[in-house]
Chain A
């Protein structure tokens, strides 16, 4: 089954603006994670939000989770050129901590200086 579909697919903003990316999923989840991927590089774990949490902050990142709508959003405030990357949401399949992650298509963020 498909999980973690993001929108928009691409987002271009000016430095200093906020960037919001959305993710939808289809099955029940224990948690939802956001990862960043710089061009041609590996995935960096940004933040995990549990199913019983509605909002979580980490520095300039704010993640929300609405389990009734099966959706999450990632907000990056006061964006910088260095935030330019692809952002993926990922959900673990099942409730086993060692289970695989299912990734969405990602949002390609471009922050112009």
Chain B
């Protein structure tokens, strides 16, 4: 069964460093998303991407964040200068566009020290 994959599973970085989180959505899906979950808290929406552009972003998704779909398969989230409060689990998800279900990857645990 097709699934969303994410790499790396765990990333440790120092404050101020740039990180790129990678995702491979399900191949025929049209909508792509990034969510994050700070430890013990709810899953929060960051950004959605459709037709090669951002369709919606939350107030969390400030100028330090960017997304790209550099080729037909990868979808990346870049954080330019990480802060301690960026430590969280980051989930990528995709949606076929023909239904409401979103399919989530296993997540990348980002630890900023």
Binding site for B on A (CB under 8 A): 30-31, 33, 35, 40-45, 48, 88, 90, 92, 97-106
Interface: B75 (CB within 8 A): no
Report Cα–Cα, A97/B44, bound state, in Å. Answer: 18
Q: B41 to chain A: which residues have CB within 8 Å?
A: 105
Secondary structure type dominating chain A contacts: strand
Q: Is B25 engaged at the interface, CB distance under 8 Å to the other chain?
A: no
Given A45-B101, A98-B31, the answer on whether A103 and B106 have CB atoms closer than 8 Å is no
A97-B98 in contact (CB<8A): yes
Interface residues of B (CB under 8 A from A): 4, 30-31, 33, 35, 41-45, 48, 50, 55-56, 58, 89, 91, 93, 95, 97-107, 109
Determine the main DSSP class of B at the interface with A. Answer: strand
Q: Are A105 and B33 in contact (CB under 8 A)?
A: no
A44 vs B41: C-alpha distance when bound (angstroms):
17
Contact between A106 and B102 (Cβ–Cβ < 8 Å)?
Answer: no
- Contact assessment for B104 and A42 in the assembled complex, using a CB-CB cutoff below 8 Å: yes
Chain A residues near B101 (CB, 8 Å)? Answer: 33, 45, 48
| Partner pick for A101 among B30, B45, B89, B98, CB 8 A cutoff | B45
Inter-subunit contact A100/B42 (CB<8 Å): no
Whether B95 and A98, one on each chain, are in contact in the complex, defined by CB atoms closer than 8 angstroms, is: yes
**A42 CB contacts on chain B under 8 angstroms:** 4, 91, 104-107
List 8 interface pairs A-B (beta carbons < 8 Å), by A numbering: A30-B100, A35-B104, A97-B99, A98-B31, A98-B50, A99-B48, A100-B33, A100-B48
Given the contacts A43-B91, A97-B97, A98-B30, A103 and B42 also touching, CB distance less than 8 Å: yes
Q: How far is the CA of A30 from the CA of B56 in the complex (A)?
A: 19
CB distance from B4 to the nearest CB of A (A): 8
Known A-B contacts A42-B106, A42-B107, A103-B42; the reply to A98 vs B97 at CB < 8 A is yes
A97 lies within 8 A of B104 (CB): no
A33 lies within 8 A of B100 (CB): yes
Q: Is the CB of A41 within 8 A of B106?
A: yes
